[in-house]
Amino acid sequence: MITVENLSKSFPGNGSPVLALRDVNVDVDAGALYGVVGPAGSGKSTLARCVALQERPDRGTVRLDGLNTATLDGRRLREIRRQVGVVDAKSELHAERTIAGNIAAPLEQLGLDGPQRKSRVGAMLDLVGLTQRAAQRPSELTPGQRRRVAVARALAAGPAVLLADDPTAGIGHEETGAVLTVLDRARAELGVTLLVTTPDAGVVRRVCDDVAVLEEGSLVEQGKVLDLVTDPASRTAQALLPAIETSRAQSARYDRAVDVVLIGFATVGALLPEAAGRFDVELATIGGGLTRVGDTPVARFRVGVRGQQADAALAWIAERGGHVTHTARGPQGVAA
Ligand SMILES: Nc1ncnc2c1ncn2[C@@H]1O[C@H](COP(=O)(O)OP(=O)(O)OP(=O)(O)O)[C@@H](O)[C@H]1O
Ligand SMILES: [Mg+2]
């Protein structure tokens, strides 16, 4: 759906140019909710603007549904740009118009007539949960509600792709969930492909299926979020999984300690007790905890292990989808 190949972009800086993107490759499947995460200045907005065809890269290509966008001229370029809705920091609402009027604006530009326009605006208001606010002005809404209106407006003309550049920026914690729900609904109910940039790993944890991690313009990690969390060395695992805090004294009571990542309802709840019973070993949770990635429960536990059949029990856990990592051992052969 969206293919970014060897994309590089620099800007003139003080003295030497700023390399905003360095040879970035990203593949976004149709219907995905794809996150691009990274700290301030890592190139997220530059990448989003290149994909939205608002910015020309120095090198590399952006393909939309296989179409090389670099070859497009004026009229074709405008047509393709309409396939890509954008919500970013510059998406100001029209203060004088009602909420419904704001959402209708892009449809007026397309020349969509009365009843059709009305029905589309109604559907968008429903999608973002603001039907009751249709006749109000933007100033009467909270920042989070205004952001939802901006999303509705970007989706009104029926784009195939929505680019949301840091959609939760400037929105209070309590309103973040509602904005993310709207993005998730756009994917589920309209089949839109979403590319969402964010500095917040929590946004990735809550709604993204796939993630690309940017650092100083370079892509350092990319993949399915649920795959990446099983690799303790990945940045995604480090950012999303519960921290493990155990004292040496806790670990010392066991023969050794291992870290186990478990994914899914059945696995999280049942795998460790079942293994303990089956192999008659002690498997005690001495650190870590439970979180959710999207709707999926994910646990990372540090587990103290004792018993003769410990290796068999751990192998059995791994065979059933648990991801077992052996922690470093201290000088006494005790997990550090
Ligand atoms: N128009 C521009 N002119 C000059 N430098 C720019 C321009 N746009 C971006 N940059 C620089 O390129 C780098 C990447 O910027 P970008 O805005 O893409 O980062 P970002 O990841 O979106 O950051 P943030 O989280 O703060 O939004 C930064 O060093 C930035 O200063
Ligand atoms: Mg940005």
Q: How do residues 171-202 score in pLDDT, each as one tens digit? A: 999 999 999 999 999 999 999 999 999 999 99
Domain 244-326 in CATH 3.30.70.260? The answer is yes
Cα(86) to ligand 1 centroid in Å equals: 17
pLDDT tens digits along 218-258: 999 999 999 999 998 999 999 999 888 877 777 788 999 99
Q: What local confidence, expressed as pLDDT, does residue 334 receive?
A: 45
For ligand 2, the distance from its centroid to the CA atom of residue 50, given in whole angstroms, is 12
Give the least confident one: 70-84, 94-108, 266-280.
Answer: 70-84
Ligand 2 centroid, distance to 9 Cα (angstroms): 14
Give me the percent of the chain exceeding a pLDDT of 70: 97
Contacts from 121-130 at CB under 8 Å and sequence distance 24+?
Answer: 121/156, 124/152, 124/153, 124/155, 124/156, 125/99, 125/100, 125/152, 127/152, 127/155, 127/182, 127/185, 127/186, 127/189, 127/190, 128/152, 128/182, 129/178, 129/181, 129/182, 130/99
pLDDT surpasses 60 at 45: yes
- pLDDT interval class at 72 (50, 70, 90): confident
- By the 10 Å C-beta count (0-12 exposed, 13-18 middle, 19+ buried), 328 is classed as exposed
**Which residue, by CA, sits nearest to atom 17 of ligand 1?**
45
**pLDDT given at position 331:** 38
**pLDDT at residue 329 in the model:** 53
* Per-residue model confidence (pLDDT) at position 269: 87
Q: Which ligand is nearest to the CA of 213?
A: 1
Predicted local confidence at residue 333, as pLDDT:
41
Residue nearest to atom 2 of ligand 1 (CA): 11
Contact 99, 135 (CB under 8 A): yes
In degrees and rounded to multiples of 5, residue 335 shows phi and psi of: -55, 130
User: Does 326 have pLDDT greater than 90?
Assistant: no
Asked if pLDDT for residue 285 goes beyond 90, the answer is yes
Mean pLDDT estimate for the chain: 93
Instruction: Give span(s): CATH 3.40.50.300, the chain.
Output: 2-237
Tell me the average pLDDT across 24-39: 97
Cβ(46) – ligand 1 distance below 6 Å: yes
The CATH architecture assigned to 2-237 reads 3-Layer(aba) Sandwich (3.40)
Q: What pLDDT score does 15 carry?
A: 87
Which residue of 11, 14, 21, 50 sits with most ligand 1 atoms within 8 Å of its CB, as the best mutation to test the pocket?
Answer: 11
Range list for CATH 3.30.70.260 in the chain: 244-326
Enumerate residues 6+ apart whose C-beta is below 8 A from 297.
263, 264, 265, 268, 290, 291
Report the range out of 23-32, 79-88, 239-248 with the highest average pLDDT: 23-32
The pLDDT of residue 89:
84
